[in-house]
Structure 1
Amino acid sequence: MELQWILSPVFLLVVQLPVSFSLPIRGNETDRLSLLGFKAQIADPLGTLSSWNESLHFCEWSGVTCGKRHQRVVELDLHSSQLVGSLSPYIGNLSFLRVLKVEYNNFSHEIPRELGRLSRLQTLVLGNNSFTGAIPVNISQCSNLVNLRLEGNNLRGKLPAELGFLSKLQVFVFRMNNLEGEIPSSFGNLSSIVELSGAVNKLQGSIPDSIGNLKRLKFFSFGINSLSGIIPPSMYNISSLVRFSVPTNQFQGQLPPDLGLTLPNLEVIRIHTNQFSGLIPATLSNASELTHVHLSSNNFSGKVPNLAMPYLQWLSLQANYLGDGEDDDLNFLYPLANSTNLEALGINDNNLGGVLPEIASNFSRKLKKMIFGRNQIRGSIPAEIGNLVSLDTLALEANQLTGIIPSSIGKLQNLGVLFLNENRISGSIPSSLGNITSLIEIDLGYNNLQGSIPPSLGNCQNLLTLALPQNNLSGPIPKEVLGISSLSEFLVLFGNQLSGPLPSEVGKLVNLGELDISRNRISGEIPRSLGSSVSLEYLYLDGNFFRGPIPESLRSLRALQDLNLSYNNLTGRIPKFLTDIKLRSLDLSFNDLEGEVPMLGIFENSSAVSILGNKLCGGIPQLNLSKCISDKSTEPKPSTKLIVIITISFSILGLILMISLLFFCCSRKKENKPASGSSWETSFRRVTYEDLLRATDGFSSANLIGAGSSGSVYKGVLASDGTIVAVKVFNLLHKGASKSFVAECVAMINIRHRNLVKILTVCSSIDFQGNDFKALVYEFMINGSLEEWLRPVHTSEETHKPRNLNLVQRLNIAVDVASALDYLHNDCEMPIVHCDLKPSNVLLGGDMTAHVSDFGLAKFPSEDPRQLPSGLTSTVGIRGTLGYAAPEYGTGTEVSTCGDVYSYGILLLEMITGKRPTDDMFKDGLNLHSYVRMSLPDFVGEVADPTLFRDVEETDADASHMMNHIRNDKILECLTSIITLGLACSADSPRERMDIRNVAAELHRIRSSFLGTWRH
């Protein structure tokens, strides 16, 4: 039995004695008991250590390797096993241990100093856990140590100077921690060191001169710290250097002119976001192995030298003072046509002049990013730009380009971002642009474009933004463009000559945040369908020829902040619903509106309202309008005969209504007999138990994709049409399962939103044994749940890195979930409270769009606790999952939308930190909310999930995705904004939490700002 060793007197002796004692038992027994002591201090959710029992010799235990001669443990490799707990000091008794690898787990507490007793230890890998405290000085006693990896933890304190005497150490990695102080000068004694990496810490001071003594050093990486001063000249003489990476510090000085000669093996130089100045060394091209050159966001000036190197992949020179606006500033581009591996070229935000050469269309076919914006570049876009078939970003904005947009641009089938705004480009928008279905953002504003907007743009069904302002475009707004349902950031068409009515298809833009068609020639009435664009925050229709009344359907635009309808021909009265929307500004001036101005809501603030040029009266005194006069003496008096006729008519009408009501009630009673079934059951296409049995292969465990207290979820294929589905089978033996089934049906029957999981059908039947059977059939989500992505399980030895969500993906998911809650809370006929929001209930579709699922605990609240008198509670008990449920639910407070907001806030913090709210580290008053709150404002990088930085600093594989093109300080800025929002949502008091609509709006703003950083 597995627990027998716990009662073993020998084991108790080992546990109780100080580990420094020499044990009076044979060595391999010491190893066995030490391993059991290790196991005793951890939780093993995956059962990785299930083989660690008396039925097997410990040398056959999972992750354990013994030497053949003495049968002593020489290697312990338990990486990526989701182990939770502390690293036992009894590891120090494994005296033959040479390799200890426990990276990618959830170990916490301090690193035991007993590791210093392992004199034979060569490899110590503790990375990507949650270790705290200081790096133990005792590790310096492991004199044979070759590989020491401590990255991705919560280590604090200073770097021990004693580690500098590990003469055999070749790899020392401690990036992504909270280490402070200076780099010890003793590190210059690490004579065997090959890799020294301490990025993403709080290190200060300068790089010691002694580092120049490390003649075998290949990788030096200390980005995202607070290091300063100049780079020691001796470092430029370490000819073995392959990677030199110190971005986002405060280094100054100039690069030596012979840099490419003294560092001939250099492959990566990353010194962006510092204060380097002077010229870029012309000898840099002599370092012919260079693949990545990142010199952006410094103070470099002068001409750009020839940097064409055979293996060059990334050249980033943006945000400097390069060039003088002269014709020869772009001469360095000609040799780059020979760099056949070039994938990214960024020269934006400089002073570069000259004509954009035609040879740019002959750059590498691998080129993905051409970012030339905000310079003084003249000429036209090369006619054969379509040759660059791998381009995903073409940014030429804010230059002096003329000519037309070549039709060949339609060949760029991978293009996601197109910025040509703020130039002097003329001609028409080529219809071939509609061939690029991968487009995400288009900005062609502030040019001289003419003609109509091509309807073919409607093919771009992935667009988030479309901006065509301040051109000379004419003709109608194509209904195809208004049918791009993906548009969620903005559609900006102001300052053109567009005409005709605004098509009713505008109501399809249900996710759009901003619509600006001001200063055109749009006519007709404001379409009522515009009220379906429920995500609108900014609506600008001013300066057109709209007529008729302001439609009542606009009352649905509850997220609206700015509304401008000025300079039109609108008539009628100011609708009352405008007082209910929490507007920030409202401009109704210069129309033909009449009647009394309301005195509530936005109309209470005269500085936020403009109503000049109408026929209005009343309102608050600050509006300086005349009083509304109602002259009753001039009103015609109804005759007695007319009064009698009206009275009789209304009496007859009332009698008819009463008879109709009685007839309706009787009919309803007949319809509501039990035999006819519930309304929610008859609303779905019915399937039988046998259908679902066949679809899931007999509810096979091979098709099981999730299980909970109320039931299990299976993957299935419906025989009727081959649809892949998720079948949720309710465990009716579990208390409350039947209620969950009904609750989920009632909640899902009338709600439809792109971020809610779609229910396809329902089954309420009996199985082949005569037992009740209830199941829901949902649309299958191929990418599983958010829980699986935040904490992936390794099923293969082939990969050592789990699949991860980058920051942009997490931000998109956060926006999706907030949009879903906003819909449930504010846009349903009756507000719905989910009551169980957590990562496992957020499912991800094929395009990584998030869908909120599992409405088994959903409620329809009658009150909002922010409106309840103090102390008014109910006895509904705790709703939801521990850690995510709002604290007031524990005191019996009725469920409310505020409870969902709390759960969302915790979810947001978990997405950024990677830590569950139930993590073992949260005890003694510390919880996820307070843990994150203490990181503001200076230590956000320490609590953030290390994987959010890994792609930026760890691998330098910048071409992998967009995250590597964003300045790291902007990543921290974005993380700070998200964390601040998560804290505002997860406040203890419901009254202090943000409204989910404001949360969604703020997230949209954060995302727009962040993607704007990337694009530029």
Structure 2
Amino acid sequence: MAAAAFLFLVLISAAPLLTWGELNADIEAEIQALVNIKMNLHDPLGVFSGWDPSTPSAPCDWRGVGCYGGRVSELRLPHLQLSGSLSPQIGNLRMLRKLNLRSNFFNDTIPSSLFRCTLLHSVFLQYNSFSGSLSPEISNLTSLLVFNVASNRLSGEIPGDLPQNLRFLDLSSNAFSGEIPRNISSGSQLQLINLSYNQISGEIPPTLGELANLEYLWLDYNSLEGTLPSALADCTSLVHFSAEGNKIGGVVPAAIGALPKLQVFSLSHNNLSGSVPGSLFCNVSDYPPSIRIVQLGFNAFTGIGMPKSVMCFSVMQDLDLQNNHISGGFPLFLTNVSTLTSIDLSGNSFSGTIPSEIGSLQQLEELKLANNSFSGLVPADIKNCRNLTILDLEGNLFSGVIPAFMIELINLKVLSLGGNNFSGPFMPSFGNLTALESLNLRGNGLTGILPEELMVLSNLSALDLSGNKLSGDIPTTIGNLKHLTVLNLSGNGFSGAIPENIGSLFMLTALDLSKQNLSGELPSNLVGLPNLQVIALQENMLSGEVPEGLSSLLGLRYLNLSFNSFSGHISPTFGFLKSLDVLSLSNNHISGSVPPELGNCSSLGVIDLHSNSLSGQIPVDLSRLLRLRVLDLGRNNLTGEIPVVLGSRFNNQSSFIGNQGLCGKPLDRKCEEIGNENRRNRLILFIAVSASGILLMLSCCCFYTYSFLRWREKVQKSTAGEKKQSPARASSRTSGGRGSSENGGPKLIMFNNKITLAETIEATRQFDEENVLSRTRHGSL
């Protein structure tokens, strides 16, 4: 008995030693696991430099490691630029409760051994490059509350069984496919589900309605189909429901709009139809109104259902019904929702006038009614909406002059009145809207000049006055609009030169001055605008050479100088324009050849050079332009064979017609015919030149003969006169001469005797010009 008691005491005393030994073994295993994790990773910031296994407190004093009871309970290594794969040794951290590796460069798969860490309650692996599928073993993590693997490269189907205690599940921005598991409701404690930006298909399962604690359901931008299950109305805790960018059709169940806690309801970019349920606008439950944001744009709704005798709620802030098929007048009930800050009804079929009650919405910041059929005058009461920053009435039927009260909306940043029937002179008072960033008055009937007062809007980034009846010069002070990125004055009657000050708009990306009466040359400093992507100057009277410096605008996408009087040649340096999509220089006086370097413009989709004076051959380099969709080289002086690839891709003769020297498909003229014709032309030219040469030689001979005969006749007359006047002396002189010609040819007469001055005067008839035989620098003979 005493021996047994002694043995019992020994065992009790040894138990702590055994427990301590097991603890040391577990700690050693965890240290080894962490070292293995370290060895698998690239550490540019030196995070692991302090991970020394020999320190007494290892691993609990290591950076990013947290311990509880001497065991590793947390591994926190976010935002540290770590790269590589996560070692399977992670599974040996059996006491791990929290894992945070977010915002690094981890790749490869999530090791299945991780799901052996059954005490895990939080996993943050978002913003990495993990790939592969998500292991079904995730269901083993019975303590898991948060699982976030957003923004990785995970694929495959979503596991059907989820941990029962899971609260937050974020699988967004991956490549998950398949359907939403119907038994996803097994995680009955789920409060947040984010499956947005994946490739999930099928229908929204009605079993989601069993998640009574669900507050946030995000299913945006997948391939979901079918209809909205009415069972979602059972998610009485739902605060935010968003399923934008899918293919969901049918009608919206009215019961969903009556959810007592729902604040955000977003289903834009789907195929929903019918009427927008009135329950979204009016409080039909016993609960206080809650919906603040309704976004149903880009669907096929045809109306707005309004329950009668119901008090409309007053907490809605943002209503987006753009791009549907809703008709009728402006929804008058909206003027009672005093909390509204944004209304977007653009792109529908609304008609009638804007009610004056709109002025009661004094918190309204954005009013977008573009592309409807609203008509009449803009109500003056709108000036009471002092907080308006965006007023978009473009594309309606408003008429009259632009209301002067517009200038009282001093907080306006965007004013868009284009595409209406406004008329009258351009208001200089627009210069009072100093906060204005975008002004769109295009497509109206505005007249007069562009006022200098507008040039003080230093915040203006977009100015579109196209399609009006403005005239005069473009103000030189336009260079004061330093933040301008888009300038469109096309389709007016502006004249004179393009002001040099445009070259100081260094933020300009698009310049459209087309269809005007502008003249002169392009400003030399235009080529110094580094952000310029669009230059549209067609249909003016501009002249001079096409500036070679345009090739320095490496971001240029669109260049249209057609229907002007430009001359010179196309610079080979245009080949540097890798982003250029459209090159149109037609109907000018441009000469020279088509530069082969254009074949380096890999983005070119349109080349329009017709009706110029271009010569030479079509460069075969253009065949490399795989994106080329339009080619027009007609009405030039191009010669040679059309490159085979271009001829087959652009088999319409209009692309090449009007070049007499071109041959090959798609033209009917064969290159053999051109060769024969060229040979015939060369033969005709040879004959013509030869005949001209012979004719010239004959003419020279005739002239020489005529001149010789006339000279001989003069000599004979002179000799005969001398014989008649002095026969004796002539006889004496003749007898002393040599070289007489018996047949009356020219004679060489030698004068051996002295001749007196009187005899000379008599013989030359007083030095008459008829007797001059030749003239030299020494005198006359």
Tell me the TM-score normalized by structure 1.
Answer: 0.52
> Aligned partners of 2:489, 2:466: CA distance in 1, in Å?
5
Which residue, 352, 370, 376 being the options, matches 1:354? 352
How far apart in 2 are the matches of 1:397 and 1:170?
46
Mapped to 2, the partners of 1:471 and 1:26 lie a distance apart of 85
Give the match for residue 331 of structure 2. 330
CA contact (8 A) 1:330 1:352 kept: no
- 1:371 CA drift (Å): 2.1
Q: In structure 2, do the counterparts of structure 1 residues 74 and 579 end up closer, same or farther at CA, with 3 Å as the change threshold?
A: closer
Q: Secondary structure at the match of 2:118?
A: coil
Q: Confirm or deny: 8 A CA contact 1:450 1:473 kept in the other structure.
A: yes
Counterpart check, 1:506 vs 2:479: no
Unpaired stretches in structure 1, ≥5 consecutive residues: 1-21, 628-632, 634-1016
Which AA in structure 1 matches 2:304? K
In structure 2, the CA distance between the partners of 1:378 and 1:330, relative to structure 1 (3 Å rule), is farther
Distance in 2 between the 1:333 and 1:121 partners? 50
Determine whether 1:278 maps to 2:269. no
Contact 2:460 2:483 in 1 (8 A): yes
Listed one character per residue, the Cα deviations across residues 347-386 of structure 1 (whole Å, up to 9, x for unaligned) are: 1111111212344344344x44322210111233444656
Q: Distance in 2 between matches of 1:600 and 1:39?
A: 61
User: Displacement, 1:124?
Assistant: 1.7
Match of 2:377 among 377, 380, 383: 380
Aligned residue in 2 for 1:575: 568
AA of the residue aligned to 2:172: R
Equivalent residue for 2:295?
294
CA contact (8 A) 1:536 1:557 kept: no
Task: Give, as a single letter, the amino acid of the residue that structure 2 aligns with 1:267.
Answer: Q
The one of 179, 184, 198 aligned to 1:182: 179
Corresponding residue for residue 27 of structure 2? 28
Q: Does 2:258 match 1:236? A: no
User: Which residue matches 1:395?
Assistant: 392
CA contact (8 A) 2:610 2:636 kept: no
* SS of residue in 1 equivalent to 2:169: strand
- In structure 2, the gaps of 5 or more residues are 1-20, 576-581, 599-605, 614-634, 640-656, 662-680, 682-691, 693-781
Q: Does 1:268 align with 2:264?
A: yes
Residue of structure 2 equivalent to 1:363:
361
Q: Residues 144 and 445 from structure 1, CA distance in 2 versus in 1: closer, same or farther, beyond 3 angstroms?
A: same
Partner Cα distance (1:32, 1:562) in 2: 65
- Is 1:469 matched up with 2:473? no
CA contact (8 A) 1:205 1:229 kept: yes
CA contact (8 A) 1:529 1:553 kept: no
Deviation at 1:89, TM superposition (A): 2.1
1:131 to 1:475, Cα distance in 2 relative to 1, 3 A? same
- CA 408–87 in structure 1, closer or farther in 2 if over 3 Å, else same: farther
User: What is the match of residue 132 of structure 1?
Assistant: 131
AA aligned to 1:134 is S
- The 2-side partners of 1:510 and 1:216 are apart by 55
* Counterparts in 2 of 1:586 and 1:579: CA distance versus 1, 3 Å: farther
3-state SS in 1 of match to 2:152: coil
RMSD (Å), alpha carbons: 3.6
Contact 1:386-1:409 within 8 A present in 2 as well? yes
Q: Secondary structure at the match of 2:36?
A: helix
Aligned residue type for 1:98: R
Contact 2:230 2:256 in 1 (8 A): no
CA distance in 1, matches of 2:586, 2:534: 15
Stretch of structure 1 that moved more, 48-57 or 204-213: 48-57
Work out whether 1:39 is the aligned partner of 2:38: yes
Question: 1:34 and 1:362, CA in 2 relative to 1: closer, same or farther beyond 3 A?
Answer: same
Alignment of 1:454-603 (within 5 A): 454-489=451-486, 491-509=487-505, 512=508, 514-522=510-518, 535=532, 537-540=534-537, 542-543=539-540, 550-552=543-545, 554-558=547-551, 562-564=559-561, 566=563, 574-577=567-570, 584-588=583-587, 598=592, 600=594
Give 1:246 shift: 1.0
2:637 equivalent to 1:619:
yes
Give the SS at the match of 2:79.
coil
What pairs up with 1:666-815 in 2 under 5 angstroms? none
Partner in structure 1 of residue 320 of structure 2: 316
Number of residue equivalences: 577
Matches within 5 A, 1:442-461: 442-461=439-458
Match of 2:122 in 1: 123
Q: CA 1:223 to 1:527, structure 2 compared with 1: closer, same or farther past 3 Å?
A: closer
Change (3 A) 1:413 1:126: farther
TM-aligned CA deviation for residue 578 of structure 1: 6.9
Aligned-partner residue type, residue 349 of structure 2: N
Residue in 2 that maps onto 1:191: 188
1:330 corresponds to which letter in structure 2?
P
Please state how far the C-alpha of 1:100 moved relative to its aligned partner.
1.6
Tell me: CA distance 1:511–1:598, structure 2 relative to 1, closer, same or farther (3 Å).
farther
Q: How does 1:851-862 map to 2 (within 5 A)?
A: none
Quote the Cα distance in structure 1 between the aligned partners of 2:395 and 2:142: 59
CA contact (8 A) 2:357 2:381 kept: no
Report the Cα distance in structure 2 between the residues aligned to 1:624 and 1:456, rounded to whole angstroms: 51
**Residues 1:106 and 1:253: Cα distance change in structure 2 (over 3 Å):** same
For residues 877-927 of structure 1, give each alpha carbon's deviation from its aligned partner in whole angstroms, at most 9, with x where no partner exists: xxxxxxxxxxxxxxxxxxxxxxxxxxxxxxxxxxxxxxxxxxxxxxxxxxx
Encode CA deviations 1:855-897: one digit per residue, 9 max, x unaligned.
xxxxxxxxxxxxxxxxxxxxxxxxxxxxxxxxxxxxxxxxxxx
Q: Which has the higher strand share?
A: 2
**Structure 1 counterpart of 2:240, which letter?**
R
Q: Give the AA of the match of 1:140.
A: S
Report the 3-state secondary structure (helix = DSSP H, G, I; strand = E; otherwise coil) of the residue aligned with 1:378: strand
Q: CA deviation at 1:28?
A: 3.1
In the alignment, the residues of structure 2 paired with residue 428 and residue 523 of structure 1 have an alpha-carbon distance, to the nearest angstrom, of 25
Distance in 2 of aligned mates of 1:606 and 1:270: 44
Per-residue CA distance 1:514-541 (angstroms, 9 max, x = gap): 5443444445666556565684753325
Change (3 A) 1:611 1:111: closer
Q: Is the 8 A contact 2:586 2:611 kept in 1?
A: yes
Aligned residues of 1:304 and 1:322 also touching (Cα < 8 A): no
Partners in 2 of 1:146 and 1:618 — Cα distance? 74
Secondary structure at the counterpart of residue 278 of structure 1: strand
Work out whether residues 301 and 320 of structure 1, in 8 Å CA contact, stay in contact via their aligned partners in 2.
yes
Quote the Cα distance in structure 2 between the aligned partners of 1:524 and 1:28: 84
What CA distance in whole angstroms lies between the structure 2 residues aligned with 1:277 and 1:514?
39
Q: Return closer, same or farther for 1:126/1:599 CA change in 2, 3 Å cut-off.
A: closer
User: Does the Cα contact within 8 Å between 1:531 and 1:553 map onto a contact in 2?
Assistant: no
Check 1:23–1:414 CA distance in 2 against 1; reply closer, same or farther (3 A cut).
Answer: farther
Q: Deviations over 1:286-330 (max 9, x none)?
A: 27211221111111111364996444332111111111xx4x333
Deviation, structure 1 residue 133: 0.8
1:645-689, Cα deviation, whole Å (9 max, x unpaired): xxxxxxxxxxxxxxxxxxxxxxxxxxxxxxxxxxxxxxxxxxxxx
2:568 maps to a residue whose letter is P
- In 2, Cα distance between the equivalents of 1:620 and 1:28? 84
- Paired letter, 1:160: P
Q: Percent identity?
A: 31
Residue 344 of structure 1 is matched in structure 2 by 342
Pick closer, same or farther for the CA change 1:537–1:220 going to 2, 3 Å.
Answer: closer
- Range with greater deviation from structure 2 (36-45 or 516-525): 516-525
**Residues 417 and 56 (structure 1), Cα distance of their counterparts in 2 relative to 1, 3 Å cut:** farther
Q: RCO greater where, 1 or 2, for CA within 8 Å and sep 6 or more?
A: 1
TM-score when normalising by structure 2: 0.67
Per the TM alignment, residue 562 of structure 1 is displaced from its structure 2 partner at its CA by: 4.5
- Which protein is bigger by CA-based radius of gyration? 2
Counterparts in 2 of 1:81 and 1:516: CA distance versus 1, 3 Å: closer
- The superposition leaves residues 59-117 of structure 1 with CA deviations (integer Å, 9 ceiling, x where unpaired) of 233333222xx322222222223222222222222222222222222221111111222
Report the AA paired with residue 348 of structure 1. Answer: S
